[in-house]
Structure 1
Amino acid sequence: MKIEGSSSRKEKRSRKDMGAIRSAEKVIRKKGGGGACERGYRKPRRRVEATSTAIQRLFLACKAVFKGPGTVPAPTDVQMLQQLLDKMRPEDVDLSADIPFFRARSTDRGTPRISYTTIYQCKNFSMCIFFLPPTAVIPLHNHPGMTVFSKLLLGSMHIKSYDFVDPAKSINTTASSSRMNLARLVVDSDFTAPCDTSVLYPTTGGNIHTFTAITPCAILDVLGPPYSKEDDRDITYYRDHPYLSVLDSDSAGGDEDRRYGWLEETDVPDEATTMDPIKYLGPRIIPI
């Protein structure tokens, strides 16, 4: 992947970007922001300027950091975005743990439905929030050519992620003509808000991941660049298989073996086709 600019240019650019962010904050304080109620949202707070500043600052940072397809943010830029997202609170996007959605302990009968809202999207990056009821699953999927920041705003969830082994190793299964690729397990843990922002890169950091809600939860995702079929960045779904079971090994396997798995491409799962889009009603972004 192409990483643009020298270290000195990156530092100058970062100072310039932060200057633009501070200038934007002044504009926000003068103009204010908005908010409304819908599923997953709370009533607007009185201090609209505080919440608007946070989401506006994130928007301007994304605008400065993401330079389009084929580029990966510099380490200093990644750190800047992480710090901004680490400080993000539910209130910054008009969410509250007091609303019924996040107080629920059980779901209705049938498959739990996931909702999502797009805060902003352009050709270089997108910002969105996913709302998961208990036991809901965002299936195992990849992020081709993307750098992704995920911030759990509310609730608890289990995250499992993989990276393909480089060079990629694959096998043909004996039961079918399907092909499986060897992947290294990166994360397999529970997370509860507030927690640190996770970052994944085009080929490292857990580029292929799945979310399983333990409680009702909301997660803020920033993707750069966003998915695009036209630019060959379409999403692919996978099913993971234990490393030893595919090899038909009689061994119990050591710790090293448990760090790997075989990923098999699948059709679009039902869980991915039943997500409900909702309108973003948090503080508005000023496209400066």
Structure 2
Amino acid sequence: MMPADGTMTSIVQRIARQALVTFRSPPRVGEEPGKSFLENHSKLKSLMTEVRAADLKLVPRRAGDSPPGVPPAHPYHHGAPPVTYMHICETDHFSMGVFLLKSGASIPLHDHPGMYGVLKVMYGKVRISCFDRLERAAGGTQPAAPLPPAAQVGALRRSVLRSTGEYTEESGPCVLSPDRDNLHQIDAVDGPTAFMDILAPPYDPDDGRDCHYYKVLTGAEVTDTEQKEKEVWLMKISQPPDFWCGGEPYPGPEVCL
């Protein structure tokens, strides 16, 4: 695509524009997506499939590398954060950026209340384990996964492990919706990794979209790639003390919306 001034529009700009079109009027939670949304969402996934690290001017890092000049983002931690984030753009309808994980780092199991997401690996490899809640809280009919003894029932979520898969820059994007694959854990595999991430709408605690963290109590290990559609109990927890996220400058093409 070439604008009037004759310069080539970056793929990052095209992705941002398509995300805006796609998520300007998304289906309401629990509502079946219409044809227009599905077509726009498919276009967005196709664009995300094409984007590469070079398009964002990302240089793949090696094990042991630390982002230069990035201070820790948590007052109780010292040294470089295990995960950093490059902000690309944000509107009321979506946010877009890049997460960079050091070798061995993880983004713990967390949710995306009422949100859509599209994740595309830029370099390295990640293992993504996706879960869904089967009901809002423990109680009612006893599920296949037995209730953990002495558990705080109010903090439990009856859930299902949908899938565990590994993604590289050659893989298509990982996609989540408000009611499918909405909780996930992301682990760096065999070295540092980075992925581009779109969330729609953005996290907003004032509008009921806060990030919550969970721990798997019974029924499955998230590293087991053979476990699928397995009922488990998840316990809501505080942000794990070994996880915090810093920020660093985005070096790629500017996005204008």
The SS at the match of 2:98 is strand
The SS at the match of 1:262 is strand
Partner of 1:60: 17
- Contact 1:134–1:213 under 8 Å retained in 2: yes
Q: Distance in 2 between the 1:209 and 1:257 partners? A: 14
Quick check: which has more Rg, 1 or 2? 1
Q: Which has the higher strand share?
A: 2
- Contact 2:161–2:227 under 8 Å retained in 1: no
The SS at the match of 2:45 is helix
2:83 maps to 1:120: no
Partner of 2:199: 223
- Contact 1:141–1:210 under 8 Å retained in 2: yes
Deviation for aligned residue 1:216: 0.6
Pick from 84, 94, 104 the counterpart of residue 63 of structure 2: 104
**Aligned residue pair count:** 227
After superposing on structure 2, the runs of 4+ consecutive aligned residues of structure 1 that deviate more than 6 Å are: 255-258
Return the TM-score normalized by structure 2. 0.79
Partner of 1:207: 182
The SS at the match of 1:282 is coil
Pick from 212, 217, 232 the counterpart of residue 261 of structure 1: 232
- Contact 1:139–1:271 under 8 Å retained in 2: no
Partner of 2:138: 170
Gaps of 5+ in 1: 1-21, 31-48, 246-254
The one-letter code of the counterpart of 1:235 is: C
Deviation for aligned residue 1:244: 8.2
Deviation for aligned residue 1:70: 6.0
Distance 1:111 1:180, change over 3 A: farther
Please tell me the root mean square deviation across aligned C-alpha atoms, in Å: 2.8
Partner of 2:71: none
- Contact 1:240–1:263 under 8 Å retained in 2: yes
Higher relative contact order (CA 8 A, sep 6+): 2
Identical residues among aligned pairs (%): 26
Alpha-carbon deviations, 1:119-175, whole Å to 9, x = none? 00011100010000111010100000111000011101111110112x556257532
Q: Distance in 1 between the 2:227 and 2:108 partners? A: 25
The SS at the match of 1:196 is coil
The SS at the match of 2:158 is strand
Deviation for aligned residue 1:259: 1.5
| Pairing 1:35-46 to 2, within 5 Å after superposition | none
Return the TM-score normalized by structure 1. 0.71
- Contact 1:68–1:225 under 8 Å retained in 2: no
Q: Distance in 2 between the 1:69 and 1:81 partners? A: 13
- Contact 2:124–2:192 under 8 Å retained in 1: yes
